[in-house]
Structure 1
Amino acid sequence: MQDNYLAKWLNDELTDAELAEFKKSEAYETYRKIKESASKLESPEFDKEKAWNTIEQRKTTETPKVFVLTPFKTFLRVAAVIAVLLAGSFFYLSTLNESFTTTYAENKFITLPDNSEVILNAASELSFNEKKWDSNRNVDLDGEAYFKVAKGEKFTVHTSQGLVTVLGTQFNVENRKDYFEVTCFEGLVSVTINGNETKLPAGNSILTIAGNSRKSKATVNGEPTWLSKESSFQSIPLHYVLDELQRQYDIEISTEHIDITQLFTGTFSNKNLELALQSISVPLQIKFNLDGNKVLFYAEEAP
């Protein structure tokens, strides 16, 4: 990150390219939270004329009083102020979470304080409290991530749609809008959705779409296909497939005369856009038009 990005960001002087690069830095989320907190601070209203009149009245009715502070008392007051500031800073910093984000068409490798490993898929966010990690191995996830958890105390992944709890194992969690899937590749994971707990041994997966859950099989000691630069689906509504295509290639997708609720089973490449478009369009017998970073999928009879 360029050294002057922070100052330019605070003054809203970054270009779009510089802003995109700055957002990729690990420090960005902390700066964003501090700026957001500072923006909420409000100064009290100040009536300048009223304050001036009050001073003038006191000058004519009161005899000035002189207070003499010994150097030691002055030192105590200054020390007290510094102590309050330090205590407040420590409390604020102890509540800050470490946060990692990925943009479209980006993956990120993260090592947690206990040497557990996480790989974030595109357009995802992971956060945790490093200060409390030794006593509380909790992470918050929005998006998709693959976990290799080091053995130890309970490890919990919090999402908006469910909890995943393990002691030490390898598993994948995807938490998107109305889409929540957990796949266990090694060990045993506990998944809680709407208060209902499900035990998933290695080689099993649970998927919830719009509140409806189903279980399926996975490869024991395997890994999610997106780590091999492929995205795979088994009877998934087409609009979720197109959403993932957008995330992997940072493109804009639209459809015309196509039922986006129809189910899709297949795989597309995360490295070759032309091949990915064909992998979706051919099985569904639909057409596509690629124009720059915009893709239109349309039915055979559509113009």
Structure 2
Amino acid sequence: MEISKEDIKCVRKLSGELGMDQEQSMFEVNLLLDDSFRERFQDYKLVWDCYPKPSLPLRKEHFAKRVREEISQETRSKRIFLSTKMKTLVAVAAAVLVGFGVFLFTKDNESRYTNHIIALKGERKQVTLPDGSQVMVNANSELKYPEVFTEAKREVWMEGEVYFEIKKDEGRPFTVSTNGLEVQVLGTKFNVNTKGKAKTVSLESGKVEVTLEESGDKIQLRPSEELSWDIETGEVIKRNFDVSKTTAWKDNILLLHDLTLEEALLTINEFYGAEFMVSDSLVANKRINAAFENQDLDQFIQTLEFIADAKISKIAPKKFSIAPSDEK
């Protein structure tokens, strides 16, 4: 089934996805000048108006009945015309809805996010959003955002750990969605971390409101406050935090604060995109307090060997074993 650009434009218009004034104006001009395009849009509108609302379950038979009822109210000639093309029209509309991201029936409207940034292990990626806001995506994390924000709001989706520096825009609040919670801001700097069993929102400056989807609770944060939500126990804690420690990663600093070497391995492996393993219990339990700033992998290995009094051996590309320094 071939889906034309005109089909996509019609559905984007009906779903409110035509964001820019210029795009809206061009659509209206096409409606005025192109009779076939105007007729196509009217047919789509008929299907759209008969479709169930997002909050209702999708019932195909009920929907089809509503379409037939609407068509039966038209003149005889119009009914004959539509009855021959209704199946094709509905099929095309469904394909556009499902395949091209007009998402009345997806809760988070993910398909409207045309840009998808993935930072693999060992990577950190800086992104400039359509409004000029700056974002840093940490290793093993991802960010989704649209090509252009709408006139009414700015929305992105993320998973993992992402640092946001949002431009203030009184008329368009900024929303960060992730699994289980939502963060709303106007202009501010903050960090969101959904790794592990606790999800945290850490505010550096400005003001944010965090909404917990499960309970609907809304919690406001002020500078140097963070919210931690334990997804296993449901416990929610609001506390002060050290901005420099929490956001060190965005400045390419690996900060290991009072951790055993074994506890630190997950962070180390993610930061460098490597696999370090330790089997000796004495080495594994050595406590590490260190900041590795702008060190490449070889420099990090040399420093860690000195700090932990250990010997690090390469056993495969980006795979290393850690043993006592005196082990032969």
TM-score (structure 1 length as normaliser): 0.59
Alignment of 1:1-303 (within 5 A): 76-92=82-98, 93-95=101-103, 96-98=111-113, 99-128=116-145, 134-135=151-152, 137-152=154-169, 153-160=172-179, 162-191=181-210, 199-205=220-226, 215-219=240-244, 224-236=247-259, 238-239=261-262, 241-258=264-281, 264-269=288-293, 271-291=295-315, 292-300=317-325
CA spacing shift, 1:270–1:247, aligned 2, 3 Å = farther
The superposition leaves residues 79-114 of structure 1 with CA deviations (integer Å, 9 ceiling, x where unpaired) of 323421342234222121423212222233333344
Q: Percent identity?
A: 24
Instruction: Give 5+ residue unaligned stretches, structure 2.
Output: 1-76, 104-110
CA spacing shift, 1:198–1:234, aligned 2, 3 Å = farther
Residue 298 of structure 1, CA deviation: 2.8
The superposition leaves residues 28-52 of structure 1 with CA deviations (integer Å, 9 ceiling, x where unpaired) of xxxxxxxxxxxxxxxxxxxxxxxxx
Letter in 2 for 1:106: E
Structure 1: distance between partners of 2:218 and 2:203:
15
CA RMSD of aligned residues (A): 4.0
Residue 188 of structure 1, CA deviation: 2.4
CA spacing shift, 1:227–1:133, aligned 2, 3 Å = same
Residue 162 of structure 1, CA deviation: 4.8
Instruction: Give 5+ residue unaligned stretches, structure 1.
Output: 1-70
CA spacing shift, 1:204–1:262, aligned 2, 3 Å = farther
Residue 294 of structure 1, CA deviation: 0.8
Letter in 1 for 2:165: K
2:307 counterpart SS class: helix
More helix by share: 2
CA spacing shift, 1:203–1:134, aligned 2, 3 Å = same
Letter in 2 for 1:108: K
Structure 2: distance between partners of 1:261 and 1:157:
38
Contact 1:256 1:302 in 2 (8 A): no
1:94 counterpart SS class: coil
Contact 1:257 1:302 in 2 (8 A): no
The superposition leaves residues 234-281 of structure 1 with CA deviations (integer Å, 9 ceiling, x where unpaired) of 335645532232223322221112475775432224541122224444
Residue 223 of structure 1, CA deviation: 9.2
Residue 157 of structure 1, CA deviation: 2.7
CA spacing shift, 1:161–1:76, aligned 2, 3 Å = closer
TM-score (structure 2 length as normaliser): 0.55
Number of residue equivalences: 231
Structure 1: distance between partners of 2:218 and 2:206:
17
